[in-house]
Every structure is written in C-alpha cells, then in structure tokens.
Amino acid sequence: MLKLKPKEFNNSLATEITKMAVESLWSNKLRTGLTMLGMIIGISSVVAITSVGQGVQKATEQQIQSLGSDVILVIAGASNTGGISQGGGSASTLTWDDAEAVATQASAAKTVTAFLQRGSIQIVYGGQNISTAVVGTDLNYPDVKDTYPEQGQYFSQTDLDSAAPVVVLGTKVKEQLFGEQEAIGKEIRIQKQLFRVIGVMPTKGAVGNMDQDDRVFIPLTNMSRRIVGNNAISGVSISGFWVSAADSSQLDAIQFQVTNLLRLRHNIYPPQFDDFRIINQVDIANTYTSIVGMFTVMIGAIAGISLVVGGIGIANIMLVSVVERTKEIGIRKAMGATKNAILTQFLTEAIIVSTVGGSIGIGFGMGIALAASSIMTIPLVISPWSIITGFGISATVGLVAGVVPARNAAQLDPITALRSE
C-alpha cells in the first residue's frame, strides 16, 4: 500500500479511501443498516413534522384570509344600563345607522357592510329539513368579503328596499337541499315563509368551528322585519358590521376611528366599558401563525432528539469497528499508512453512513408529508431549507460522531495492533 502524505492527498487517493470505506461498510451490511436507521428516523421526522407544520400554518392563513385580510369586524355587545350589563338577551347595541356613520365619517374605511345573523333556523325544501345560519346583509357584503355568487346573482337594491323574499345559498346548504339539482329559481321555506333562490355562493371552507358554506343570505331588511323582528332601541338592529380598508396597513387607523366614533355615538366615556367589540383579522392571523409556528418548532425539536440518538449510534458502532479492526489498522500502518490516512478513512465511513441515512430519511420524510397532506387536506409545503438542513445535519452528525473513533484508530500503535487478536 502506498504511503500517504499530506501533500499526496489528491483526488485519486481520496477516491481510493472512499472506495475502501464503502467496501468496509458493505461487508457489514446489517450493522451499517442498523446504524443508518437512527439517522433515517431522525431526519424523516424533522422533514415530515416541519412540512406538516408549515402546511397547517398555510392552511390556517388561507382560511383566515378567506374571511378578509384587510377588514375588521365590529360585533355588538350587551347593552348597559347605569354601567350594568343587561346580558345577551337585551336589545342590540349596534344599528344599521352606526354602520352607515362609519362608512361616511371614518376616513380610513373603504367599504362597510352590516349584517344581522341568527343560527339554527329551520329551512325546508320538499322532504328536506335542515337547520342552518341565516345572515341578513346589505349590498356591500360581496365586495367587502371578496366573495361573489358562483351561480346566479346577489340580491339588488330593489330587493333590499322592498325586503324581498330572495335568498342566496351557501354551497353546503345547496347540496343538502338540492343535491345535484339546479337550485336557482326554486323556492325554499324559512320559518314558514317562502324565499326564492337567486344565487349560490362559492365554497369557502371552515375557520375554526364556523363553516362559511353552511349558511344562507337574505336582504338585511327582510331579516330584520320578518325573521328576527326589530329589537334595537332605535333603528335597525344588526349583529355587527365589516369594515374594509384599501390595504392591511390601514387597519389600525380604521380601528382607532371606529372605536372613537362608536363611543361618541353611544355616549361611552371612561371608565365605562365599550358595548361593542372590534376584531382585527390581521391580529387573528398573526396569532394563529405564531401558535402553529411554536408548536412546529417544539415538536421538531423533540424529533431532533432522535438525531442525537442516531449520532450516538454512529459513534458507538464506529468505536466497535475500531476494536474489531485493530489488526487491520496495524497492518495498514506497518505498510506505510499515515495517521491522516487512517483518520480520513474512518471519518469517511461515518460521514457516508450519516449522509446516506439522511438522504433516505429526507425521502421518507417527503413521503410522509405527502401522505399527511392528502389525509389532512392541507397544502403540501416542503421547504428547500428543510432538505438543505437535513443534508447538513446528517453530514455534521456523522463528522462529529466519527471524530473520536477515527482519532482512536489513527493513534493506535502498529506493533500493539499487530499483536491483537
């Protein structure tokens, strides 16, 4: 065997050392495979968990954005008398006039749409009888929510002015009542009143426990007069209103303006509490993203423990390999192999085990992520950084885990090594 010196460590010698390392690993296939197993489990866990976490995060963002990323929601609270809350059954604290005042006086507001909603209302068509949410809205709802009927149309100003008995169905309601039949032009019964179907909304999905497809829309005037009955102290009672901005950077300004305007209109002064609530969609999105991100990091860190276990396994096997191959190391040294050559071979073996195991682990991780995406119906998100990090971690673990065994092998005295059995 050629005597290897640092200046002679060129590509051909590196190739020869790599070949020897591969042959050594191949001659102990079972041991090599078990050593790789720790790396495979660790890397696949990290890649899969990271991918699923990012997929859940993206799905959550999409669901929240479907509610509108450039809007705030103002919800009526319980009315107060003498500073004492009258509870949820009292008259609504918000009216249609409040929404119109915000539309005309809040300079940062782009569009405002009022709504009056009630849940679990019976809807009947033929032999089908379901319970769903009924939402009375004005004409601005499709623009503010950026959602327009997929079939038919939304109601008109004439429908709103006359409190016309027309209805636009959510996709789930349409499927439950009509199945594959055409719904446009048919009549359904809502609380014993006939309503003509004029449109069907597109599928929007669920956000939390709120299914945006399991609801129907009717003119706000009809909802107020015939379904609910006007229960506001003055004006038309509403459940709340959405306020849209030109862009999300204006949401804080809108929230400030709406808060002060409603306080003035409702004669609320410190230390009185507001009789309304304002929900900022961007804040909700950021909160969800932060929570999901923290869970992903936490679970990923737990999965990373298996990488440490895999590294310990590599170090252990390499130490055993040094003991088993003591005589081989002595022969090589007697034939002129330098410490650097021995050190390089054992480090190469450790790195090969970790990188091959890491590569297989990345493949398994991507497969698990794909399966999870299909089962959980979330976007498939595989970050290039997770793959790059996977390769980097596997190579680093192999290098670190192989340093001590390789150093031990390189420092063996050839005479002592040759005498070993």
On whether both 270 and 346 belong to a single domain, the answer is no
Domain encompassing residue 164: 78-274
Distances (CA, A) of 378 to 50, 55, 61, 147, 156: 13, 6, 11, 22, 37
On whether both 399 and 314 belong to a single domain, the answer is yes
159-203 pLDDT, tens digit each: 999 999 999 999 999 999 999 899 999 999 998 899 999 999 998
Q: Which amino acid is at 84?
A: I
How many independent structural domains does the chain possess?
A: 2
On whether both 43 and 180 belong to a single domain, the answer is no
CB count in 10 Å sphere of residue 330: 20
Report pLDDT for 22: 78
Q: Where are the alpha helices (DSSP H) in 168-250?
A: 171-178, 220-222
Report pLDDT for 10: 55
On whether both 119 and 198 belong to a single domain, the answer is yes
Q: How confident is the model at residue 104 (pLDDT cuts 50, 70, 90)?
A: very high
Please list, residue by residue across 154-175, b when 16 or more beta carbons sit within 10 angstroms of its beta carbon and e when fewer do.
bbeeebbeebbbbbbbbbbbbe
Q: How confident is the model at residue 272 (pLDDT cuts 50, 70, 90)?
A: confident
Which tokens go with 374? 């299909």
On whether both 227 and 101 belong to a single domain, the answer is yes
205-253 pLDDT, tens digit each: 766 567 888 999 999 999 988 887 665 556 788 999 999 887 777 888 8
327 has a pLDDT exceeding 90: no
CA distance 294 to 299: 9
**pTM for this model (two decimals):** 0.62
Q: Is residue 20 part of a domain?
A: yes
Q: What percent of the chain has pLDDT over 70?
A: 77
On whether both 163 and 270 belong to a single domain, the answer is yes
Which tokens go with 101? 């005042």
Q: What is the DSSP letter of 91?
A: -
On whether both 322 and 203 belong to a single domain, the answer is no
25-67 pLDDT, tens digit each: 787 788 778 778 877 887 888 788 888 877 877 776 666 666 5
On whether both 265 and 297 belong to a single domain, the answer is no
On whether both 94 and 228 belong to a single domain, the answer is yes
On whether both 43 and 120 belong to a single domain, the answer is no
CA distance 188 to 123: 7
Residue bearing the bigger pLDDT, 155 or 394: 155
* 250 within 8 A of 241, measured Cβ to Cβ: no
Q: Is residue 71 part of a domain?
A: no
SS3 for 188?
strand
364 has a pLDDT exceeding 50: yes
Which of the residue ranges 70-74, 87-91, 290-294 would you say has the lowest mean pLDDT? 87-91
User: Which of 251, 274, 297 represents a domain boundary (last residue)?
Assistant: 274
Q: Is residue 304 part of a domain?
A: yes
Q: Which of 118, 100, 121, 120 is nearest to 109 (CA)?
A: 100
